[in-house]
Amino acid sequence: MKARTLASVAVAAWVVLVTTACGPEKSTEDADPKPSQPAASSTPPAKPSITPSATPTGDQPAPRTKAGAIERYEEFLHAVGREDIDTVCEVAGPAAKQAEDQGFGPCTATFQITFQMIPPEKKKALQTATVDRQRVAEPAPEKYEIPAEAVKASVTFGEEEIGSSTMEYLKDNWYVTD
């Protein structure tokens, strides 16, 4: 897969980081975690390796449908808005390996910087953003392209801000792969 074109301005850097520079990895940068969801148990879940996890929600695989891909991408957008680094890095895991191979740091480090670059009103808008199903294309089976114009929120996000994302079904769930 080709990585997104890199640009030198901060807004373009945010696009690259949002669409390609996050992925699960082991990190010790959990000193200041952001609350995201109530814990299901007192034992913290193990962080996944670079390979996507096999079980998205308990023991049930995610639906291999357009709706399943869109739901997972919305989960990603909401996590970016909440600064939920664990979810962001989980959903965009496969893209992380690609970005890290190109010299970006680990997701947990690069997204802390990215979060700081997003204005508060845009973070808030991402927390409830949805995707217009009609604007999502299926270039291949179990692979969907979600362009920036498909993202519906209380503020407008342009291609230069969030770019397009590819959602691909891998190991029983949907992941941002490009």
Is the pLDDT at 154 greater than 70, yes or no?
Answer: yes
Residue spans of beta strands (DSSP E) within the chain: 130-131, 137-140, 143-146, 151-152, 165-170, 173-176
Strand duo 173-176 + 165-170: pairing: antiparallel
> Between these two residues, 134 and 53, which has the higher pLDDT value?
134
Contact between 84 and 12 under an 8 Å Cβ cutoff? The reply is no
Q: How far apart are the first and last CA of the chain?
A: 7
Mean pLDDT check: name the lowest of 36-50, 140-154, 163-177.
Answer: 36-50
Report the C-alpha gap between 131 and 160 in whole angstroms: 17
Tokens standing for residue 139:
């270039």
Tokens standing for residue 104:
């970006």
Q: What is the mean pLDDT of residues 93-97?
A: 83
Mean pLDDT check: name the lowest of 17-21, 66-70, 110-114, 163-167.
Answer: 17-21
- Report percent pLDDT > 90 for the chain: 49
- Global pTM? 0.69
What is the pLDDT of the chain when averaged over all its residues? Answer: 75
DSSP 60: B
> Between these two residues, 128 and 32, which has the higher pLDDT value?
128
Q: Residues in the chain, how many?
A: 178
**What is the per-residue pLDDT for 58?**
58
**What is the per-residue pLDDT for 127?**
98
Contact between 78 and 126 under an 8 Å Cβ cutoff? The reply is yes
Tokens standing for residue 128:
């409830």
Q: What is the pLDDT of residues 117-153, one digit of tens each?
A: 999 999 999 999 999 999 999 999 999 999 999 999 9
Report the C-alpha gap between 104 and 126 in whole angstroms: 24
